[in-house]
């Protein structure tokens, strides 16, 4: 038994949900109508585009197009983070992109090649969906962690500069700030682990069940995914925040951020 097909009319009916959100935005003067409209259009366009691209990639069964698509997903994730973080005094896009590329490629290859043992490791039916979940979830975590880092550095500027004047280096002066930033990025993943299976059924498990897979098999995959996401969120947040923190200071240990 496979998944029930969804026709154009059913997809069009989903727009009702967005209209409800738009009505709430208008009623409460949230000014989110434009973002809702653009987001809806991009959702349809980007997902349909990715669907047809994946059809082509699945037929090729080669490593290079899979890695190109995955690296492209990481690039746009890093670019999205850059757009969400309003900080412009400190450059962080390049370090974010490089750390995400290294971390997420290693994590995804380990999961598909070692844990799932897909043959070959770059099998797109496994690599792209699993890698996409890594990038999507970690993108949100990194954005939250960076936002916390920059905001705390500004709010605790006097404390940091006092410690620098007393002889501490930038690592010692910002140790608690970095810990708070990484913790903020990891909390959503930990909360998801606490509620998975009882409060909600995650997307990976739900998709497999809708496609007709054995629920027990779907559970095994979901366990792999949850632990994979927790690890990628932790690694990504730590590396990105560590690099961004260094960029917040000059070689003379002076804080670059303005008031």
Same domain, 76 and 191: yes
Q: Which of 66, 94, 67, 68 is CA-nearest to residue 81?
A: 94
Is residue 257 in a domain? no
- How many CB atoms are located within 10 Å of the residue 256 CB? 12
Last residue of a domain, one of 10, 26, 60: 60
In this structure, is residue 181 part of a structural domain?
yes
**In this structure, are 32 and 158 located in the same domain?**
no
Q: Confirm whether 259 is domain-assigned.
A: no
Q: Is 48 in the same domain as 173? A: no
Q: Which range (18-32, 75-89, 135-149, 245-259) has the least confidence?
A: 245-259
Could you tell me which residues come within 8 angstroms of residue 31 by beta carbon, excluding any fewer than 6 positions away?
A: 25
Is there a domain that residue 110 lies in? yes
63 class by beta-carbon count within 10 Å (0-12 exposed, 13-18 middle, 19+ buried) = middle
* Tens digits of residue pLDDT in 112-141: 989 988 888 888 888 988 888 888 888 888
Answer yes or no: do 70 and 55 share one domain. Answer: no
Phi, psi of 200 (to 5 degrees): -155, 160
Q: Enter the pTM of the model.
A: 0.78
What does the mean pLDDT of the chain come to? 86
Q: Is the pLDDT higher at 259 or at 14?
A: 14
Alpha-carbon distance 126 to 139, whole Å?
A: 20
Three-state SS for 129? helix
User: pLDDT, tens digit, for every residue of 207-247?
Assistant: 777 777 788 888 888 888 888 888 888 888 899 999 999 88
Let me know if residue 237 belongs to a domain. Answer: yes
Domain closes at, from 39, 60, 81 = 60
**Is residue 193 included in any domain, yes or no?**
yes
The string of pLDDT tens digits covering residues 19-73 is 999 899 899 888 888 988 998 999 889 888 888 888 887 777 788 888 998 999 9
* Residue 138 sits in the same domain as residue 214: yes
Last residue of a domain, one of 45, 60, 75: 60
Do 194 and 165 have their domain in common?
yes
**Residue 254 counted as domain residue:** no
Q: Residue 242: what pLDDT?
A: 92
255 domain residue, yes or no: no
DSSP element (H, E) containing 113: none
What is the phi/psi pair of residue 191, to 5°?
-60, -40
- Whether residue 1 is predicted with pLDDT greater than 60 in this model: the reply is no
Number of folded domains that form the chain: 2
Q: Are 86 and 132 in the same domain?
A: yes
The whole domain housing 232 covers 61-247
């Amino acid at each position: 038994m496979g998944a029930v097909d969804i026709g154009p009319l059913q997809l069009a009916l989903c727009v009702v949900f967005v209209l409800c959100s738009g009505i709430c935005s208008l009623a409460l003067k949230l000014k989110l109508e434009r973002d809702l409209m653009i987001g809806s259009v991009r959702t349809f366009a980007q997902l349909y585009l990715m669907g047809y691209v994946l059809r082509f990639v699945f037929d090729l069964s080669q490593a290079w197009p899979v890695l190109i698509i995955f690296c492209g997903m990481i690039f746009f994730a890093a670019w999205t983070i850059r757009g969400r973080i309003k900080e412009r005094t400190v450059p962080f896009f390049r370090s974010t992109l490089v750390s995400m590329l290294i971390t997420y490629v290693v994590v995804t290859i380990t999961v598909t090649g070692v844990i799932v043992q897909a043959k070959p490791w770059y099998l797109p039916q496994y690599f792209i969906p699993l890698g996409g979940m890594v990038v999507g979830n970690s993108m949100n975590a990194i954005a939250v962690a960076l936002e916390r880092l920059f905001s705390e550095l500004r709010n605790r500027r006097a404390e940091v500069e006092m410690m620098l004047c007393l002889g501490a280096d930038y690592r010692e002066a910002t140790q608690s700030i970095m810990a708070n930033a990484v913790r903020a990025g990891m909390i959503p993943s930990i909360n998801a682990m606490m509620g998975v299976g009882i409060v909600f059924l995650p997307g990976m498990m739900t998709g497999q069940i809708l496609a007709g897979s054995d629920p027990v098999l779907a559970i095994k995959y979901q366990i792999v995914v949850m632990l994979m996401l927790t690890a990628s969120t932790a690694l990504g947040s730590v590396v990105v925040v560590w690099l961004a923190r260094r960029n917040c200071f000059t070689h003379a240990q002076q804080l670059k951020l303005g008031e």
